């Protein structure tokens, strides 16, 4: 809303991501709660994970899902590294300040997404 209300935003992208620590474990727990499903998040050595995602990429490509295959390396990187994004520009340019705890709001976001996917489409 802040970006839509100021000329300074000028179509820029603002990441609102690093104000509270959100690690992969919290993301998985939030997804599990929000989707109402048990999600397995095994801890494996990096080499095993890298090999799995390389195999996943190849399998998706063979299955004709190159649209998904191209995201496998980035997904692996996202799951194994710290968050590379910062909210600093939103704070400086927009005066943005987070007002919600990600541990609560992430689960709600997954639930919202699930409801939207289940909604019938008009047509």
* Average pLDDT for the chain: 84
Residue 102's pLDDT band (cuts 50, 70, 90) = confident
pLDDT of residue 56: 96
Against a cut of 0.75, is the pTM above it? no
Q: Is residue 74 part of a domain?
A: yes
Q: Is residue 63 part of a domain?
A: yes
Average pLDDT over residues 104-122: 82
Residue 87: domain span: 3-118
Q: How many domains does the chain have?
A: 1
Query: Long-range contacts made by residues 34-43, C-beta under 8 angstroms, separation at least 24?
Result: 34/106, 34/107, 34/108, 34/109, 34/110, 34/111, 34/112, 34/113, 34/114, 35/110, 35/111, 35/114, 36/111, 36/114
Q: Is residue 29 part of a domain?
A: yes
Q: Is residue 27 part of a domain?
A: yes
pLDDT for residue 19 is more than 60 = yes
Q: Is residue 123 part of a domain?
A: no
101 touches 20 (CB < 8 A): yes
Distance set, CA 29 to CA 22, 79, 101, 103, 121 (Å) = 11, 14, 14, 9, 29
How many other CB atoms are there within 10 angstroms of residue 53's CB atom? 19
Q: Is residue 9 part of a domain?
A: yes
pLDDT of residue 83: 67
Q: For the segment 72-92, what is each residue's pLDDT rounded down to a tens digit?
A: 998 888 888 766 677 888 888
Average pLDDT over residues 8-23: 76
């Amino acid at each position: 809303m802040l970006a839509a209300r100021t000329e300074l935003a000028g179509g820029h992208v603002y990441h609102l991501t690093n104000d509270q620590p959100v690690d992969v474990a919290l993301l998985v727990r939030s997804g599990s709660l929000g989707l109402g499903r048990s999600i397995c998040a095994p801890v494996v050595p990096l080499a095993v994970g890298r090999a799995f995602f390389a195999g996943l990429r190849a399998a998706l490509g063979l299955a004709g899902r190159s649209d998904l295959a191209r995201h496998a390396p980035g997904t692996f990187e996202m799951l194994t590294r710290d968050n590379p994004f910062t909210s600093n520009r939103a704070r400086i340019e927009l005066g943005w300040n987070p007002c919600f705890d990600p541990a609560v709001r992430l689960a709600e976001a997954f639930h919202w997404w699930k409801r939207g996917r289940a909604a019938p489409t008009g047509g």
